[in-house]
Structure 1
């Protein structure tokens, strides 16, 4: 069931982190207190989760999305949410996958991570502007994974 509403972008404490609050009972509408959703923020698609923090539900709004829609804290946006029941798969860049395949521990660690943790590694690597930077990041990623560590 799709939910569409307008929401105000809120700042999380004093951090450069933003969120919106759904104006409905998430547990009642989606049947869970934490739910994976497909979201649309002013025309920008996003896959994330609604989580309960304290006494309210919220979904994060990344810096990239805020920049893309040209809005920030205090601004109103149009939000569409629907439960995301599709499997979340992170596509591995070929060069990263080949490097990871040289370390059984790196592969095992990577596949044990959540979708979000996997996506952070891939985004970090693919966001490199120079080929040298990309190669350095791949080397560092395989090293961290071989030690069983998340990126952050």
Structure 2
């Protein structure tokens, strides 16, 4: 891996997601593989950067193809003077220190109910906590999510500081991918 000071500059097309959910105002960019290779990890990674010269900080998601994708919300699109279909210039660099992840409420409650797990959780690295949360929130069904929360508490209570059997890049498990593109 490269150093934390690596900065990538590239141009990319703003794409419209085929299934944007309730918010139809966002776009996304898939990073070129060489830009992604400059990042410290294949899983979720927080970057600082600019889009058309406008600064932002965001967490890149793994695309399952050994690269990442970036969701660009409506406020950032407007600030950058960009729209879906435009070619934009991006500069990205990993943050010096990964920010603490938000802990989902259901997982917070489970940790609170399991003091041994909470103690180990508090002594893990930020990156490990990002991976635990990513593993839990990537479950497609509520039943699977609930099982993962229970399993996480058991593993943490047993002293395990990192989630096992989880590919944070999605490459081997094909668990993650960039959104499908709407052919606008």
Q: Which residue of 1 aligns with 2:115?
A: 104
Q: CA RMSD in A?
A: 4.2
Residue 81 of structure 1 and its aligned partner are, at CA, apart by 2.9
1:9 aligns with 2:30: no
Q: Which residue of 2 aligns with 1:128?
A: 139
Pairing of 1:4-83 with structure 2 (within 5 A): 5-6=9-10, 9=33, 19-21=36-38, 38-39=47-48, 46-47=58-59, 62-64=62-64, 66=67, 68=69, 80-82=91-93
CA gap of 1:4–1:120, structure 2 versus 1, over 3 A, is: closer
The normalised TM-score by structure 1 is: 0.54
| Greater percentage in strand | 1
Q: Which residue of 2 aligns with 1:88?
A: 99
**1:81 and 1:3 mapped to 2: Cα distance?**
6
- What SS is found at the alignment partner of 1:101? helix
| Greater percentage in helix | 1
Deviations 1:73-124 (A, max 9, x none): xxxxx65234635771211111111111122220111111111110111111
Q: Which residue of 2 aligns with 1:139?
A: 150
Q: Which residue of 2 aligns with 1:151?
A: 163
Aligned length: 113
**1:99 and 1:19 mapped to 2: Cα distance?**
34
- What SS is found at the alignment partner of 1:139? helix
**1:132 and 1:119 mapped to 2: Cα distance?**
21
- What SS is found at the alignment partner of 1:89? coil
- What SS is found at the alignment partner of 1:5? strand
CA gap of 1:86–1:132, structure 2 versus 1, over 3 A, is: same
Q: Which residue of 2 aligns with 1:113?
A: 124
Residue 140 of structure 1 and its aligned partner are, at CA, apart by 0.3
CA gap of 1:62–1:40, structure 2 versus 1, over 3 A, is: farther
